[in-house]
Amino acid sequence: MAVGVFDSGLGGLTVLDAVARELPEVPFVYYGDNAHAPYGVRDADDIFALTCRGVERLWDEGCDLVILACNTASAAALKRMQETWVPADKRVLGVFVPLIEALTERQWGDNSPPREVAVKHVALFATPATVASRAFQRELAFRAIGVDVEAQPCGGVVDAIEQGDEILAEALVRSHVEALKRRMPRPEAAILGCTHYPLMEGTFRAALGPEVRVFSQADLVAESLKDYLARRPEFLGPGRVSRFLTTGDPQRVSDKATQFLRRPIRFEAA
């Protein structure tokens, strides 16, 4: 009854931790495409091809349901995958919609017309590809009116995290927050729209200040997955074993994962 969790690299581990906490009885298989990270600077065709390859590998592990724990893949590839590629007996879900439902105070599947919501000024931090896709703004516009979104493409942050360079990652986060605040001095809410960024959450929060509400994507995705599996238990696949797979060097990736999550994690070659 395993579920797959896909990311370009280490960031999806923030989602994996949250879903494993919410569903302790479910085995999860993680796939990090570390050899090809970062995705945020790649074009949509490239992201589509790499994401499909990773998802297929997770299907081979008996995971009929795969979470794209990657905003870049969710923004640039998921719609095309669902429309042209995913067979009827499999599911691939993204990480965007639970976040936007929380921001717009909606229950799952509430497709009523867009309406005014409490939050008016939202800062979005994401990879260059996610920002360029405008997928966040598109999904938000289906559900809310009158929300001003200022998006900051955070070039370099995923790369620094994947290299294990926390000092560089912190410096980049601070400069991206400053750049955003020059354009939107008083955001009410901030979205960390890349699953790598919670690894730097303390730095984001310190730079944003205590009055900005930071939405935790990982927890929202975990709640949403629990709800989904209660409604569609048939998508708990036949897999029985939790594993961590990487296209990168397993030892190196294990070391970085252990460094960032502060607990031992052992990756195997995908």
Residue from the set 30, 31, 39, 204 that interacts with ligand DGL by CB under 6 A: 39
Active site residue 63: no
Residues 221-260 that bind ligand DGL (CB under 6 A): none
194 in contact with ligand DGL (CB under 6 A)? yes
User: In terms of Cα–Cα distance, which of 23, 38, 49 is closest to 219?
Assistant: 23
To which residue do tokens 């601070």 refer?
174
C-beta of residue 214 within 8 angstroms of C-beta of residue 208 = yes
Q: Is 8 annotated as a binding residue?
A: yes
- What is the rounded radius of gyration, in angstroms, for the C-alpha atoms of the chain? 18
- To ligand DGL, the closest distance from the beta carbon of 217 in angstroms equals 9
Q: Phi-psi region for residue 183, left (φ > 0), alpha (ψ -120 to 50) or beta?
A: alpha
217 in contact with ligand DGL (CB under 6 A)? no
Question: Where does this chain touch ligand DGL (CB under 6 A) — which range of 5-13, 21-29, 244-252, 259-267?
Answer: 5-13
User: In terms of Cα–Cα distance, which of 21, 19, 48 is closest to 36?
Assistant: 48
Q: What is the DSSP letter of 23?
A: -
Q: Is 111 annotated as a binding residue?
A: no
β strands within 94-204, DSSP E: 115-116, 121-126, 144-145, 148-153, 189-192
Residues 6-35 that bind ligand DGL (CB under 6 A): 7-9, 11
Nearer to ligand DGL, 1 or 101 (CB): 101
Active site residue 194: yes
The end-to-end CA distance of the chain, in Å, is 20
Residue from the set 51, 104, 133, 195 that interacts with ligand DGL by CB under 6 A: 195
What type of residue sits at position 256? K
Instruction: Specify binding-site residues for substrate.
Output: 7-8, 39-40, 71-72, 195-196
Residues that bind ligand DGL (CB under 6 A): 7-9, 11, 37-40, 70-72, 127, 130, 158, 194-196
Active site residues: 70, 194
